[in-house]
Amino acid sequence: MVQKESDAAPKPLGRPRGRPRSFDPDVVLEKAQAVFWNLGYAAASLDDIAAATGLNRPSLYAAFGDKHALYMAALISTRARAVASMRAVMGREVPLREALGDLFAGAISAYVSGDTAQRGCFIIGTAVTQAVDDPEARALLAGFVADEDEVFRERFARSANELAPGMTPAAAAVVATAALHTLAIRARTGEGRGELTRVADAAVSAVCGPV
């Protein structure tokens, strides 16, 4: 992956002073993620990130490393939260149709949010493009998709009697994961909550059968 010279980490100047951090790294990471989410990795500069976080470049480097390390930290954090949320929703002891519908509804609420416009899913919206020439981003993206498949497959295997006739847990997992990604892309194009809900309802019917 080619890194812009302006984004490369500077050489350390002298001995670090060892002052304690006066910022919350999680808050900084969230603000940096918003920049990547809105602009994409390539277009987001460290000046953009510094302005959004209120930190200068040396502080960002000291806390996270270079721009790519900061982006990967945002991807890793998002993946962990997203998969944990999926497991929590799909792990509830409720009918499969209800659990799947609730998961899609929660995803839609997240996908239509944004400080400038609807942004969809952070990982799908940015890592798909970055993955072409970035092995780390590609590996994380592949792992995230596999995580989604596995969460769905585990629940569908436990609730196989609630699947549509002829639908296997593995096939249903692929359909459900594809539906999540479709919702993320459609949200990023500006489709409203109503249109997205209709897509989600169609996916639930494909997995569980018509009501």
Between 172 and 8, whose confidence is greater?
A: 172
The domain defined by 95-208 folds into: Tetracycline Repressor; domain 2 (1.10.357)
Q: How confident is the model at residue 21 (pLDDT cuts 50, 70, 90)?
A: low
Task: Tell whether the model's pLDDT for residue 6 goes beyond 80.
Answer: no
pLDDT tens, position by position, 8-18:
444 443 434 44
pLDDT tens, position by position, 146-160:
999 999 999 999 999
Which of 76, 177, 186 lies closest to 120 in space, CA to CA? 186
pTM: 0.85
Which of 86, 84, 78, 82 lies closest to 156 in space, CA to CA? 86
When pLDDT is averaged across residues 36-51 and rounded to a whole number, the result is 94
Contact 82, 123 (CB under 8 A): yes
Q: Which amino acid is at 35?
A: V
Would you give the DSSP letter of residue 164?
Answer: P
Q: Is the dihedral of CA 31, 36, 41, 47 positive or negative?
A: negative
Q: Which amino acid is at 153?
A: R
Mean pLDDT (the chain, rounded): 90
d(CA 36, CA 40): 5
CB contact set of 62 (below 8 Å; sequence gap of 6+): 16
**What are the structural domain ranges in the chain?**
95-208
Task: Of 32-46, 52-66, 93-107, 123-137, give the lowest mean pLDDT range.
Answer: 52-66
Which H/E stretch holds residue 195?
helix 193-208
Would you give the DSSP letter of residue 1?
Answer: -
